[in-house]
Amino acid sequence: MRVAVVGGGRMGSGIAQVFATVGAEVTVVESDTIAAKAALTRVETGLRRAAERGKLEGTPSQVLSRIDFVTEIPALPKNADLVVEAVPEAPELKVRVLTAVELAVSTETVVATNTSSLSVAELGAVLVHPGRFVGMHFFNPVPVSKLVEIVLGPNTRDDVRDKALAWVKLLGKADVVVRDSPGFATSRLGVMLGLEAIRMLEEGVADAESIDRAMELGYGHPMGPLRSTDLVGLDVRLAIAEYLERTLGDRFAPPKLLRDKVERGELGRKSGQGFYAWN
């Protein structure tokens, strides 16, 4: 199986890692050699951690040998079975990437977007062959998350849906299949919970740790909404909230505290500071 991932950030590198782990030949596209090197480091770190947990068949170097890093979309393998777009949640950027991907690969290649909230129908509208387009929303951190949300656009073919489901099963993950709608099922609920937790913190209802513990111990959530926001990235959560506010209404209006933190560069784990301090 040949898989390509466009975007080697935290999500893209995780997607590349899990496909390579199950034996796929993987190509990762990054914007330049510096970004490609950073993506390589992320994959190496992820493989080492998987090996330490006893969750890796073979050695990290064996898995890594199945991953190639390139710096331009035309270098994608034309006969790829699947290309996953995993660039930031900016519609214009995703459209440019998807248009370039379609030119680079075969008409038989399935093209997927890892978007967590943007309309699959609108993104797929730029493609000449929208029937082979589907949403495959992975969760962070990809190697240990259990779920992939399959988002069906209005033109997604049945055989493409079936292939996406088979790939999720190959990765040892579970699936939910949803109709294309702003925020789908997971982001719509997750962002709403996260925004309300931020409002509670803003209003002084409780501190961040208490709010998170309330959901973890009271409702069985594996991670509280504020720590989860740190993991996702406050800038990412803000962008999704702004999109959902535009499409679904004022109930998704981002709190001032979230905007202020993003403006100060407090983006969560990736910046070292969010609602928590990260080392």
Q: What would the pLDDT profile of 181-193 be if each residue is shown by its tens digit?
A: 888 888 899 999 9
Determine the Cα angle at 205 with ends 202 and 207, to 5°: 75
Split at pLDDT 50, 70, 90, the class of 143 is: very high
Q: What is the mean pLDDT of residues 238-250?
A: 92
Percent of the chain whose pLDDT exceeds 70 = 100
pLDDT score recorded for residue 117? 86
pLDDT tens profile 15-72 = 999 999 999 999 999 999 999 999 999 999 999 999 999 888 889 999 999 999 999 9
Residues 6+ apart with CB under 8 A from 113: 84, 85, 94, 98, 120, 123, 133, 134, 135, 136
115 — pLDDT class (breaks 50, 70, 90): very high
Residue 267 has pLDDT above 90, yes or no: yes
Strand order in the sheet with 67-70: 67-70, 25-29, 2-6, 82-85, 110-113, 133-138, 147-152, 174-179
Q: Supply the DSSP string of 15-51, one letter for each residue.
A: HHHHHHHTT-EEEEE-SSHHHHHHHHHHHHHHHHHHH
The whole-model pTM stands at 0.86
